[in-house]
Amino acid sequence: MAGINYSDKIPNNVNLDDDPRLQRALENWQPKFLDWWKELGPHNALNHDVYLRTAVSVEPSGWAHFDYVKMPEYRWGIFLAPAEKDRKVNFGKHKGDAAWQQVPGEYRSELRRLIVTQGDTEPASVEQQRKLGLTAPSLYDLRNLYQVNVEEGRHLWAMVYLLHAYFGRDGREEAEAMLERHAGNPDKPRILQAFNVDTTDWLSFHLFTYFQDRDGKFQLAALSESGFDPLSRTCRFMLTEEAHHLFVGESGISRIVQRTAEIMKENKLSDPMDVRKFGGIDFPTLQKYINFHYSICLDLFGQELSTNAATYYTMGIKGRYGETKIADDHVLEGMTYRVPGVQGEKIIESDEPALNAINQRLRDDYATDSQRGMDGFNKIIAAHGINFTLTLPNRAFHRNIGPFAQVRTTPTGQIITQAEWDKRHGDWLPTAEDKAYIQSLMKPVLEIGKFANYIAPPQRGINRQPVDFEYVKFH
Ligand code: BYC
Ligand code: FE
Ligand code: FE
C-alpha cells in the first residue's frame, strides 16, 4: 500500500511518479485550479492562517494532521482508499467478474458522465459559499467553512484525476470545463440546479452541509460500489472527508436549535416568532428553510423512475447504497420496488421494476438518514420543555424533477391548485422578509471564543483544542 507522497508537487498515493505523462497533464491543470481558487474560492481569504487538517494516510486510523495553513498552500492531492484484494463487480450483468482497473470501452460515455456530474458539484459548492467568510458567527465556524471548502476542492481533484488518468483527451477537456462552468452563471451554469443557488447566510450554510452534502454521501456511497475500481476507491476515501461536512451541518443546526430553545425558555416565550425580538432564529423560519433545502436536494436524486439509473446499475458502474449488504440477487430482473407518483389529484404508490427505481431507492435511504438528525433536533427542543416539532416536508413538496414537478402540494403532501400555491407558498418557503431577517443577523463575530447570538457554542473544539482557540489568524 503506497503511502502519501508529499515531496511531489501533487501529493498522491497513486505512484504518479511512474506515469510522467499523467503527471505532466495534472501539473498543467494545477495552476488553472489555483487561478480558479484565487478568483472564485473563499472571498478575501488568501492570506489567512487557518487551522486545517490535511490527509497524511488513507488508512481509517489517524489520517489527519492539523496545522495552520494558508488555503492556497493546502496540499490538494490524489488519495485513493486501499485496494481491496480480488475485488469483484458486485451487481448487474457482470456480477462476479473481476472489478475493472480500466474503463470498459462500451461504458465509457456513461462513466464519464457520472464522473463529470459528480466532479461538477465540488467546485460549485465552493463558489456558492465563497462570501460566507465575511459574516462568520465565530472563528470556530469560519475554520469549519474553510475546511469544507478545501476538501470540496480536493474532491474536484479526485474526479479530475480519474478524467485525466482514464479518459484521454476528452477527459482532459472535461477537466478544463470543470473550471469554466460556474455556480449561478446564466451562460455556463453548474450541471445540477441545487448547485446554482447562492449560499447567502450561515443558516443556509448549515442546512446545505446537512442536506446537500448528505446527497454527496449517498451518491458517493452508490459510486463507491462501482465495478470500475479506481472510482470505487476514490469515492471511498472521499466519504471519510464527507463525514466531517455532515458533522458541520448537523452540529451547526443543533447549535442554532439549542440557542433558539434557550431564548424561548429564558424569556418564557409562547409565541415562537417572538424569538426574533431577542435576535434568534425562530423555529417557524427554520422550518421554512428546511422545507426549501430538503426539497431541492430530493431533486438531486433524479427522476423517480429512471432508465439511466437502470442502465448504470445493469452495467455495474453505479450501485445502491450498501449494495453488498442488501439481501437479494443484485441483478434485480423481475423484481419490484414501491415508487410514489401522481394519479389525477392524488399521490399514489405503485410497484415498479426495481431496476427503474434505483434513484428512488437512494432517495428513500437519504430520507431516512435525514430524518435521523431531525429527531435529534426535536429532542433538543423537547428537552427545553418547548412544544414544537421540526419535520421534513412530504417528498412531493416543491419538486422540480420527476412526477411531482407537475403538481403543487402543501408540505404535508396535499395537492393544491396553482392559485392556492400562489397565495400560500410564503407560509412554507422563506419569504423576502424572512430572508431579510436572517440576513440582518449575519454580522461577523471574530473575537476568539465568541459566538453570534443566534448560535450556541459547540460542545468541544477541533482536534481537542479548546473552543476559544484561535482557529483562524488574520493578517
Ligand atoms: N438537475 O434519468 P434521470 C455532492 C436530468 S452531491 C438537472 O433521473 P439520472 C456534493 C438527467 O441528467 C452528489 N438535471 O437522471 C454536495 C437526465 O438528463 P437526460 C453529486 C437533472 O441520470 C455538496 C434527465 O434529467 N453526485 O457530491 O438517473 C457539496 C432524466 O433524469 C436532475 C451525483 O449526482 C437535476 N437534479 O440521475 C459538494 C452523482 N436530475 O439524460 C458536493 C452522479 C435529473 O435526459 N450523478 N436530471 O439528458 C448521477 O448519478 C445522475 O446524474 C443523477 C441524475 C442522479 C444526478
Ligand atoms: Fe464533496
Ligand atoms: Fe461535502
Domains of the chain plus CATH, in order, are 33-473 (1.10.620.20)
Distance (angstroms) between ligand 2 centre and the Cα of 353 equals: 31
Which protein residue's CA is at the shortest distance from atom 47 of ligand 1? 302
| Nearest CA owner, ligand 1 atom 12 | 302
Testing ligand 1's pocket by substitution, the residue of 192, 235, 318, 361 carrying the most ligand atoms inside 8 A of its CB is: 192
CB of 295 sitting under 6 A from ligand 1? no
Query: CB of 212 closer than 6 A to ligand 1?
Result: yes
HSE-up of 414 (CA within 13 Å, CB side)? 7
Separation of CA 412 and ligand 1 centre (Å): 25
Q: Is 226 in the pocket of ligand 1 (CB under 6 A)?
A: no
Taking the centre of ligand 2 as the mean of its atom positions, its distance from the CA of residue 155, in whole angstroms, is 5
In this structure, the residue with its CA closest to atom 16 of ligand 1 is 213
- Would you say the CB of residue 303 lies under 6 angstroms from ligand 1? yes
Burial of 67 (0-12, 13-18, 19+ CB in 10 A): exposed
Backbone φ and ψ of 349, nearest 5° = -125, 145
> 309 CB under 6 A from ligand 1?
yes
Query: CB of 304 closer than 6 A to ligand 1?
Result: no
User: Which atom of ligand 1 is least distant from the CA of 209?
Assistant: 23
Query: Is 211 strand, coil or helix?
Result: helix
At a CB cut-off of 8 Å and minimum separation 6, what does 344 contact? Answer: none
CA 209 to CA 362: how far, in whole Å?
18
Q: Which residues surround ligand 2, an ion (CB under 5 A)?
A: 122, 152, 155, 216
Please indicate whether residue 311, judged by its CB atom, sits closer than 6 Å to ligand 1. no
Which of helix, strand or coil describes residue 451?
Answer: coil
The cell for 355 is 431496476
Residue 408 phi, psi dihedral angles, 5° rounding: -105, 135
**CA nearest ligand 1 atom 27, residue:** 216
Q: Are 248 and 144 in contact (CB under 8 A)?
A: yes
pLDDT at 61: 65
Q: Ligand 1, closest atom to CA 194?
A: 36
Using a 6 Å cutoff on CB, does residue 213 contact ligand 1?
Answer: yes
Give Cα separations from 56 to 66, 135, 195, 298 (angstroms).
10, 31, 30, 35
- Distance, in Å, from the CA atom of 130 to the CA atom of 71, rounded to the nearest integer, reads 13
The predicted structure's pLDDT at residue 365:
98
| Per-residue confidence (pLDDT) for residue 1, from 0 to 100 | 43
301 CA to centre of ligand 1 in angstroms: 6
**Is 118 a pocket residue for ligand 1 (Cβ < 6 Å)?**
yes
Ligand nearest to the CA of 126: 1
3-state secondary structure of 338: strand
What pLDDT is attached to residue 58? 79
Could you tell me which residues come within 8 angstroms of residue 297 by beta carbon, excluding any fewer than 6 positions away? 194, 211, 212, 214, 215, 366
Q: What are the CA-CA distances from residue 293 to residues 257, 319, 325, 429, 443 (Å)?
A: 17, 25, 30, 10, 23
Cross-strand partners of 54: 65
- Residues 303, 358: Cα–Cα separation, whole Å: 10
CA pair distance 202, 270, nearest whole angstrom: 26
Query: Relative to the CA of 124, which ligand 1 atom is closest?
Result: 38
125 Cβ closer than 6 Å to some ligand 1 atom: yes
How far does the centroid of ligand 2 lie from the alpha carbon of residue 242, in Å? 6
Select from 107, 112, 117 the residue to mutate for testing ligand 1; criterion: most ligand atoms less than 8 Å from CB: 117
E strand map for 270-372: 336-343, 346-353
pLDDT per residue of the chain (475 residues) written in tens, 0 to 9: 457 777 788 999 999 999 999 999 999 999 999 999 999 999 999 999 999 998 877 776 667 889 999 999 999 999 999 999 999 999 999 999 999 999 999 999 999 999 999 999 999 999 999 999 999 999 999 999 999 999 999 999 999 999 999 999 999 999 999 999 999 999 999 999 999 999 999 999 999 999 999 999 999 999 999 999 999 999 999 999 999 999 999 999 999 999 999 999 999 999 999 999 999 999 999 999 999 999 999 999 999 999 999 999 999 999 999 999 999 999 999 999 999 999 988 999 999 999 999 999 999 999 999 999 999 999 999 999 999 999 999 999 999 999 999 999 999 999 999 999 999 999 999 999 999 999 999 999 999 999 999 999 999 999 999 999 999 999 8
The H or E element spanning position 304 is none
SS3 for 217? helix
